[in-house]
Structure formats: C-alpha cells, structure tokens
Amino acid sequence: MNSTVESNHAISKEYTQLSNQLDALLTGESNLTANLSNASALLNQFFDRINWVGFYLMEDGELVLGPFQGLPACVRIKVGKGVCGTSVEKRESIVVPDVNAFPGHIVCDAASRSEIVVPIIKDDVVLGVLDIDSPELNRFSEEDRVGLELVVSTLVKHL
C-alpha cells in the first residue's frame, strides 16, 4: 500500500468499490499501456466535474505523458516543476484547490482550476503520477486524496 495512505482517514465505500473494480479490471493483464489506459478510462467514468485524468511516467529523469482521458496535454514535465513534478520530488500526494495559486503551475489546459496528483511508488521507486484536473475550484478533498492513494496502491500491484 502507498505509504501516504493514512490509517486515521476512513476510506469511503465508493473508493473501496472503485479500487476493487480496478483490481478486477487489471487482473491477468501485465501490459503497462493497457493497464494504465483502462485505469484512466475507469477513473474518467468514476469522477464527475473533471476535465482530465491520466498518468505521467518517469523516463530518463523526467515525467513523460502516459495514457489519459481528456484534451491533449503537456508531454514532458521536469521533476520539481508544476504540481506533477513537485509530487514526484516530495514523494507525496498534492491537492491543489486553485491551480492559479500554485507556484510554478504548468498550464496544459487553461480550463483547469483545481488538481490532485498522487505519486505511483513501487519498491521505493517513483514510477510516475496519477494526475486529475477539474474546471472547478476546490474540486478535490482530503477524502479524494485518501481514496486515490488506495486506488494507486491497487494499481501498483499490477505494474
């Protein structure tokens, strides 16, 4: 399980069901692209009021765009830059209520107003991040952070 999942926060029934659905969807498949594509599609169906959901994967010391649902996005993000790069650098999830107030935010879709990023860590190595954007301010909560960390920990079992 992702070390950032905190035991003092209850995980909602909806996130537990989502995690179980993801586990069932990915069981028996080992292809990274297929699994991340299906994960992004499942998350896109789960969430309302979002405009982008997908993955960035570590490659040669930077994040590179992976499978996603939404408008075309930034292809490469340096570690420490923007919300995704900061999440990798800090090795922790980041909930951003207003992306315009986040220092160094990278604008891929001008409609995005809030964002949540969860690092994907396996065997103490950051493999990438799950990134979800919304056109609404304050779209993501602490419950979303804890729930998505559970989802990412389920995903990691299949990577």
- 17-76: per-residue pLDDT in tens? 999 999 999 999 999 999 999 999 999 999 999 999 999 999 999 999 999 999 999 999
Q: Which two tokens stand for residue 66?
A: 């992976």
Q: Which two tokens stand for residue 134?
A: 């919304």
CATH 3.40.50.300, domain 13-156, yes or no: no
Q: What residue ranges do the domains of the chain occupy?
A: 13-156
Contact status, residue 18 vs residue 38, Cβ threshold 8 Å: no
Distance CA 152, CA 146 (A): 10
Model confidence, pTM: 0.92
